[in-house]
Structure 1
Amino acid sequence: MRNYIFMKKHIIVISIIFAALIFTSCKGKERIAEKNELQEINLGVMPSMDYIPFAVAQKMGIYDSLGLSVNFVRYLSPNDRDDDLKWGKLDGAITDLTRAISMQANGLGLKIIMKNDGILYLIVGKESGIKNLSDLRQTNIGISENTVTEFSTDMVLQLANILTVNVNKPNITKMPVRLEMLQNGQIDASFFPDPYATAAKSNGHKSLISTKDLGINATETVFTERAIKDKKEEIKVLVIGYNLGVNFIKTHPLKEWSDILKEDTDLPQSIIKKIPLPNYQQAELPKEKDIKASIGWLKIKQLIPESYSEKKIIDSTFVKKPLP
């Protein structure tokens, strides 16, 4: 317990110093806001590894030290998350690139402020008989329609030279339901993020390929234009906390913060220990090639106008690194 208290205080001190350096280095014009000056941020998240640096920053007291209150609103369905984003119940959300582009192109004022480092895995059922990608022909692959799961599925089918008409893609938006259907043999395969992917593999199912293997950036952090206008300082501090969370993850063994994963996933420690951590990086913008690939796919599906440009979706205010 004493070690935990010491560690937490140590992190808080580092957080304050690091935050101060960041803010004061920006041309000497910005200042650290007092705790009571910062408004709360409501951020929609799914149960996946992409938002873990945010969670670590919150649970380890980093955001407290920076004077920011972050309310993580958890969802099991991307549709429910996006509906709340549309209705103004959320300031921002971690969503996938295809959803972000589609929502913005169809009238929702939002911008991507940074990418996240989550990975999705194509899990095939142990009784499906699928051993390689070419075996996916004439199978049932569960998706969440018009999201990164369907985009990744189409990329895999293209890689395997399988026409999309030669597979059945039932739309199952809730990940726990999709996983249960895989476990019960009602679908043959689907893309899942961790911890769902590791839970499935622990039950004997197999991963064939991942979005990382495909070169696909799975998720991004978006904020509404209203939040960007009204909570600019808060979002800056949110990103600082994210970066400190990444530093903490990289410099502390999992056993020191695995309780955070347990609280967020409700999985036993035996499975948590098996979850491969993404190679978390400091906050940066998504690559232009990823944005263009998603836009191209959405245009083929006629979900966004032909005139839509990748320049409309990015706000580089909070992450200064240019798009590579």
Structure 2
Amino acid sequence: MERRNWKHLMMLFMLVAAISMVAVGCGSNTNNAGAPATGNAAGDAPAASDAPAEAAALTLGLLPSIDAIPFIIAHEQGFDKEHNVNLEIQTFKSAKDRDVAFQAGKVDGISADLVAISIYNEAGLDVKITSTTTGEFDLLTGNDGVQEVKDLKGKTVILSKNTSTQYTVAMMLKQAGLTEEDIKVTEVPQIPTRLELLKNQKADAAVLPEPYVTMGKAAGLRVLSSTKTAGINPFVLAFPQSVIDAKGQAIQDMYAAYDEAVAYMKSHDQSEYIDLIIKEVGYPDTLKDQITVPEYLPANQVDVKEVEAAFAWAREKGLLTKNIPAEEVISDVQFKK
């Protein structure tokens, strides 16, 4: 009896194995709905697992400034796709417009400032810094009576409140022996509007990024100070932790494309990509010969001390009440701690 059952079990096993082999054979020679396979009869067509993975999409929300340039070139030159990521770039005229899109989930990552990072995390958004970016704020004036930052006492300065433009002015004033209480602030989030108001003498000074600095200088405005000369670097790229978890490899691939774009700019004459910069960043064609592209460096991580300084200012302003160490908002997705 036991021998007969054993024989039945063996026959059943052999039958199942035979059916499985037939099923595999049928599957390898037909596609869905019984269509014939596209591979050749010799069976040397590449397996589906050998095909290159589809490039992951990564949407960046950037401001019209110089820190956007390497990302734009990385996409336009196809460096992103070479590294298996598709950069989708959206440009916003103001930080507030960018934030609306970011909070609505319309972009994965953003070019931001350290003060914005503090505000995001204060609001419970788990947003992390993945690197610095190459940006610059300049403090411009058209008032002949203002020759130095200290001359702004009692004067009107245009900026965007609760952002790194206000933080930048605070640090510049501090270096000149003044405080924010020594000036009158006019809030104008839209960057092009700041420039127009300053050109029309509606204020004594304004904080601007490129290309508006070059545009302002061409209109006769003067630079009083800059983040570069003041030793301030609030410019970062940031992603929600959820995006870092879901698209960590895509972020790493993005930085590989970014570094390749930096190398491209170093090895090519500015004339080869200046038209792209004019189009994407917003320089007027008439200022083509006056545009100076910065010496970009490969991507690198933010300095913890920069984050601490910005967070300290945010606490003074009541923007940050939580005890959030700087290290907690710095991601190691690209640069290990």
Q: Give the alignment of 1:245-264 within 5 angstroms.
A: 245-264=261-280
Deviation at 1:269, TM superposition (A): 3.8
**Does structure 1 retain, via aligned residues, the 8 Å contact 2:211–2:282?**
no
**Residue in 1 that maps onto 2:150:** 134
- AA in 2 matched with 1:253: D
**Residue in 1 that maps onto 2:312:** 296
Which of 65, 71, 94 matches 2:88? 71
Structure 1: where are the runs of 5+ without partners?
1-31
Which of 109, 116, 120 matches 1:103? 120
CA distance in 1, matches of 2:161, 2:179: 17
2:54 paired with 1:44: no
- AA in 2 matched with 1:242: Y
Q: Give the alignment of 1:124-273 within 5 angstroms.
A: 124-125=141-142, 127=143, 129-273=145-289
CA distance in 2, matches of 1:116, 1:266: 19
**Does structure 2 retain, via aligned residues, the 8 Å contact 1:121–1:192?**
yes
Which of 137, 162, 165 matches 1:120? 137
Structure 1, residues 12-52: CA drift from partner, whole Å, max 9, x if none?
A: xxxxxxxxxxxxxxxxxxxx99351x331111000000121
Structure 1 runs, 4 residues or longer, greater than 4 Å off: none
Structure-2 change in CA distance of 1:306 and 1:63 (3 Å): closer
CA distance in 1, matches of 2:196, 2:319: 29
CA distance in 2, matches of 1:122, 1:162: 15
Which of 274, 281, 286 matches 2:290? 274
- AA in 1 matched with 2:260: L
Which of 31, 34, 54 matches 2:52? 34
Q: Which moved more, 1:61-70 or 1:173-182?
A: 61-70
- AA in 2 matched with 1:34: P
**Residue in 2 that maps onto 1:25:** none
Structure-2 change in CA distance of 1:209 and 1:295 (3 Å): same
- AA in 1 matched with 2:72: A
CA distance in 1, matches of 2:52, 2:189: 41
Deviation at 1:153, TM superposition (A): 0.5
Deviation at 1:279, TM superposition (A): 2.4
Deviation at 1:233, TM superposition (A): 1.4
**Residue in 2 that maps onto 1:3:** none
**Residue in 1 that maps onto 2:329:** 313
Deviation at 1:210, TM superposition (A): 0.8
TM-score where L is the length of structure 1: 0.85
CA distance in 2, matches of 1:42, 1:33: 24
In terms of Rg, which structure is larger?
2
Deviation at 1:296, TM superposition (A): 0.7
- AA in 2 matched with 1:120: F
Deviation at 1:108, TM superposition (A): 1.1
Structure-2 change in CA distance of 1:41 and 1:306 (3 Å): closer
2:89 paired with 1:61: no
Aligned length: 288
Identity of aligned residues (%): 28
